[in-house]
Amino acid sequence: MTGGIAPRQTVRRFLDPELAEIARAAEERYRERFRAYRADFKVEPTRISHLRSVGEGLELALHPDDPASWDWWGDFESGIEVRRRTRFTRSWRRVIEQAELAQWVESETERYLATLEVSR
């Protein structure tokens, strides 16, 4: 959901402390539910490269304990851009509000869990 086919890259950390807190809370909330499927649930920071701007967002990722036996590859690829700034500037603008982002994270995560439950 980056608004096009802009390249996304997973990076080491969130620049926005609010995004880091949303990620931490989501991982904590859903950790045990995904452990039942032998996978770790991660909310990873991403950078999105546009022609004249740079974005920051997050991606939901599952890391299975045993990738060779994981049957669900490709079913769980969700990412969203949260804020953007024009290249060579410092001021960021929100693309999506925090409440809407929290709702998106919850709906996508519940969709992941529903897919895993049906596949059991």
pLDDT digits (tens, 9 = 90+) for 65-100: 998 887 766 667 789 999 999 999 999 999 999 999
Any domain includes 74:
yes
Any domain includes 97:
yes
What range does the domain containing 72 cover? Answer: 8-119
Any domain includes 77:
yes
Contacts 24+ apart (CB under 8 A), 84-93: 84/48, 84/50, 84/53, 84/54, 84/55, 84/56, 85/53, 85/54, 85/55, 86/52, 86/53, 87/52, 87/53, 87/54, 92/16, 92/56
Any domain includes 1:
no
Domain count for the chain? 1
Any domain includes 2:
no
What pLDDT was estimated at residue 74?
63
The tens digit of pLDDT for each residue in 40-61 reads 999 999 999 998 999 999 999 9
Any domain includes 18:
yes
pTM (predicted TM-score): 0.85
